[in-house]
Chains A and B, each alone.
Chain A
Amino acid sequence: MKKFIWVAVTVWPVAIAFGQGLATEPSSLPSSNSTPAATADVEALRQQVQALTETVKALQQQMKDQNAAHGKTNEGDAALPENGGTSSVTSTSSEGRDGARPSSSPSTTASSRFPTDDASVVASTPAAKPRTNPGVNENGAALPGAFPTTDSSSVTSSTNDVSIVAGGSSLTAPISIGGGGKNYMNISFDAMFALAYSSDKHLDHIEVGDHDPQQRGFNARNIELAFDGAVDPYFEGFANIVFKLDNDNQTEIEVEEAFLQTTNLPFNLQLKAGQFFAAFGRINPTHPHTWDFADAPLVHGRLLGPDGLRGVGAQISWTLPLPWYSQLLLGMQNGRGGTGFSFRNPGDNGIFFGRMTTDREMRGLQDFVWIPRMENSFNLSDTQTVLIGASGAFGSNDTGANTRTQIYGGDFLYKWKSSHADGGFPFVKWQTEFMYRRFEAGRGMDETFPVAETFHDWGMYSQMLWGFKKGWVAGIRGDYLQNTDSHFTDDPDRQTRSRMSANLTWYPTEFSKVRLQYNHDFFEDTFFLAGRDADSVFLQFEFILGAHGAHKF
């Protein structure tokens, strides 16, 4: 009986040693108290342990040679230890059974080395030889504890695709990162609403932009679907389809933008063609949901038009090979209709600035709107950036047989952003635009209007935004618009006016916002119109679904 107990006591630790993944050194076995029979048993077991250890070592070496850590040892170690030492450190379970190195290993040597490789996090280094069986998931199962299960299908050992060293990999080679890149286009949906009140019953006379609030009560003037993506290796495509609800809640649809753009022309050139916003100034090329105020500046709505200057056309741009950012653009558009407001615009019911419009067909290059722009940007410091631009728009208008319009614009942007910005806050942004329009107003269709005049209209706005706290922005804006007072034209759009605005915007995230804005509008008397001030308040709210909207500067 005593002998039996001795044997049991002797064998037990060995069994434990097996159970624990052979962590215990055979030499630590008690030997002084063993009978010959027990000693023989122990010796047999020890040999077995050593044989197993050798096998494991050989297996490890084999795996290393193949540079593929398929399969796992019984101990749950998925790593392929470079130093023949321990593997991953991941067992975060609080067992801490021996206070020794984080995990045990079948190999008894060098067990104090901290692992310097971990096949569970680095799928396979780009240097690895192409695997013969790419379907093998080298991390058969998740590590216990901290490493949450990753879908084996989402982790590709894309050694073949990387082929950095091989070079010249084709553009169409799939790049597999996690579960990404599965869509051929990004889709987003953006809806913007405003609850509005104005002391003037006719808010649509006060507001100058087509996407601005148009009536007291609720407004839904900009609900848009946006698409973008790579068309093929040569082009990228973009589209913005806008739905607007008019004041009778009828839906209007606009193809606001739909264009393609080249991706790899030589000499830093880029071509764009389709329906798009003209690159004129800061506000015009952008969509209303990126604006810092709930409505368009006066000068933008009155000189470029309620919808901005956009149309079907083409544009070439060139970034100059200079050490700072400098870009030249030249666009051409049909400039016809309401979105070419100051150009070949037939006007409401065929009347523009009091004239019956000619609405003629295009005669030649002079009837396109030509839109040159140059912009330069400089960093004043690590946190301060300035962008200065000059734009022009030149074309014919429809108020006479040979009447022309020229618009000149200058824009300035200063931005400071903290070097410790959290979510992009805090920041200060100052933006100013100036525009001047020379408009030859002819005598209208068949010379029916009594006089031809030339209008010299100009205006500007300046706005300051202060992102004072993460998600919070306060803004003020001053607007001024000077229209030549005409004794012959009673168009209310030609009233000289100015505006002060203040707002506060809260962005819970970059996908939603709530904005409260106050406007005070001043109107000057004209020959036909009495000036009267107006106060307006807007509560704007917006949400975005889908693709993350990247922000241009």
Chain B
Amino acid sequence: MKRFLLTLLFSVAIAISANAKLNVVATLPDFGSLAREIGGDKADVTILAKPTEDPHFVDARPSFVVALRNADVLIDGGAELEIGWLPPLLQNARNPKIETGKPGRVIAAQNIRLMNVPGNVTRAAGDVHALGNPHFMTDPIIAKAVAQHIAQSFAAVDPPNAAFYQANYTKFESEINAKLQEWGAAMLPFKGQNVVAYHDSWPYFAHRFAINIDIFLEPKPGIPPSPSHLVEVIAQMKAQHIKAIIVEPFQNRKSAERVAEATGAKVVDFAQFPGGLPGADSYIKLMDAMISRLAAALK
């Protein structure tokens, strides 16, 4: 019996280690989408968080430990977005390949200039991130840099396929460059317009497409909308003739709808993560969907 169990264990272990594909874990679906673009059929990508859930609060499910233990590459944001759930997983995963500083660890925020770095860190201001706003992937130019970072990591971890990853990156880069022309043209008529969002997840998107997203339904990051704050928002929206309110899948759409009703604005469903909007299962499709939705609402 004992021998049988041991044999079973070893065969399972061998089966797992014999998997020739690059095992990639991405904490969030946006990184996962880029990893799939770069890795193609040579990488198995596991995404931890669901595209429709709040990335700040993800359950550290034990199955994630297994994924991280078997990972050749881990892609995480590194700007405190996953700080509430990733550290204990990494502790338990005991995987030296994905330690900080190893080629198998892609910290996406590396070399990204984060916006809205608070000068004075106080939680009285709500859920602030000391390193700056961590929702940087909504800027396609930043996404390109992250994709390149991923390609380099893949190449370092899996040198025989380095050229393949590099080629995929080049392809992705030119796709994004071409798409940027489309997106830029679609958003151009709305340059300088104000848009309201539920949470401050969109400064990078706003910066890229030259709109302003500075008014939020949340009175402070992470604090649910209060009636008095919504009254203020409604007044601001009326004064500035704001036409759109951006809401993500996990956010309370009802408060957005109430504000929309009072102001005549439209509620626009956005998502930071591929898979968060129907049919938008890749980064480019997601950006396509968001740009067209927003442009339609601002018309």
Interface residues of A (CB under 8 A from B): 82-83, 89-94, 96, 101-102, 113-118, 120-127, 139, 146-148, 150-151, 154-155, 157-159, 162, 164-165, 167-173, 175-180, 236, 261, 263-265, 268-270, 319-325, 375, 377-379, 382, 385, 387, 415, 417-424, 470-471, 509-511, 548, 550-553
Contact = CB atoms under 8 A, between A and B. Distances in A.
Contacts of B114: 150, 177-178
Given A173-B101, A417-B59, A550 B85 contact: yes
A250 B126 CA distance: 35
B152 interface: yes
For the complex of A and B, list the 3 residue pairs with the smallest distance between their C-beta atoms, beginning with the closest. A114-B184, A377-B62, A325-B62
Contacts of B207: 89-90, 121, 146-147
Given A122-B113, A417-B53, A422-B54, 14 more contacts: A89-B184, A89-B210, A92-B211, A118-B139, A122-B144, A126-B111, A164-B106, A165-B155, A168-B103, A178-B131, A320-B9, A321-B16, A418-B53, A422-B251
B96 interface: yes
Contacts of A162: 110-111, 149
B109 A178 contact: yes
Contacts of A82: 177
Most chain B C-beta atoms within 10 Å of own C-beta, residue among A155, A178, A510: A178
A123 B112 contact: yes
Contacts of A551: 59-60, 84-85, 88
Interface in B124-169: 126-127, 130-132, 136, 139, 141-142, 144-145, 148-149, 152-153, 155-156
B113 A423 contact: no
B209 A553 contact: no
B204 interface: yes
Given A148-B116, A509-B127, A553-B60, A175 B210 contact: no
B280 to A, nearest CB: 16
A37 B89 CA distance: 78
14 contacts: A113-B181, A117-B141, A122-B112, A139-B113, A175-B101, A319-B65, A324-B66, A325-B62, A325-B66, A420-B249, A470-B224, A550-B83, A550-B86, A551-B88
Contacts of B65: 319, 325
B156 A165 contact: yes
B52 A121 contact: no
Interface in B90-124: 91-92, 94, 96, 99-103, 106-107, 109-117, 123
Interface of A is mostly: loop
A122 B145 contact: yes
Contacts of B40: none
A159 B65 CA distance: 30
Contact of B115 (A147, A159, A471): A147
B164 to A, nearest CB: 15
Most chain B C-beta atoms within 10 Å of own C-beta, residue among A121, A139, A264: A121
Interface in B182-237: 183-185, 188, 191-192, 203-204, 206-212, 222-224
Nearest to B176: A116
A102 B16 contact: no
Give the bracket for the number of chain B residues in contact with chain A: 35 or more
B59 A385 contact: yes
Given A89-B184, A170-B101, A319 B69 contact: yes
A457 to B, nearest CB: 30
B16 A424 contact: no
Contacts of B262: none
B224 A553 contact: no
Contacts of B297: none
B16 to A, nearest CB: 6
Interface of B: 9, 12-13, 16, 50, 52-54, 56-57, 59-63, 65-66, 69, 78-80, 83-88, 91-92, 94, 96, 99-103, 106-107, 109-117, 123, 126-127, 130-132, 136, 139, 141-142, 144-145, 148-149, 152-153, 155-156, 176-177, 180-181, 183-185, 188, 191-192, 203-204, 206-212, 222-224, 249-252
A320 B126 CA distance: 41
A120 B78 CA distance: 19
B180 A509 contact: no
Contact of B131 (A139, A180, A423): A180
A423 B107 CA distance: 23
A146 B212 contact: yes
Given A90-B210, A471-B224, A423 B54 contact: yes
B299 to A, nearest CB: 16
Contacts of A92: 191-192, 210-212
A373 to B, nearest CB: 14
B193 to A, nearest CB: 9
B86 A177 contact: no
Given A164-B156, A417-B59, A125 B111 contact: yes
Nearest to A265: B94
A260 B149 CA distance: 33
Contacts of A552: 60, 88
Contacts of A424: 54, 57, 59
Contact of A263 (B85, B94, B131, B223): B94
Contact of A114 (B113, B180, B249, B251): B180
A423 B57 contact: yes
A154 B142 contact: no
Given A146-B206, A178-B109, A385-B61, A268 B69 contact: yes
Contacts of B136: 121
Given A178-B79, A552-B88, A102 B96 contact: no
A473 to B, nearest CB: 13
Contacts of B211: 92
A151 B107 contact: no
Nearest to B207: A146
A177 B101 contact: no
B228 to A, nearest CB: 16
Contacts of B13: 321
Contacts of A147: 115, 207
Given A179-B130, A323-B66, A325-B63, A165 B212 contact: no
A470 B251 CA distance: 10
A261 B87 CA distance: 14
A167 to B, nearest CB: 5
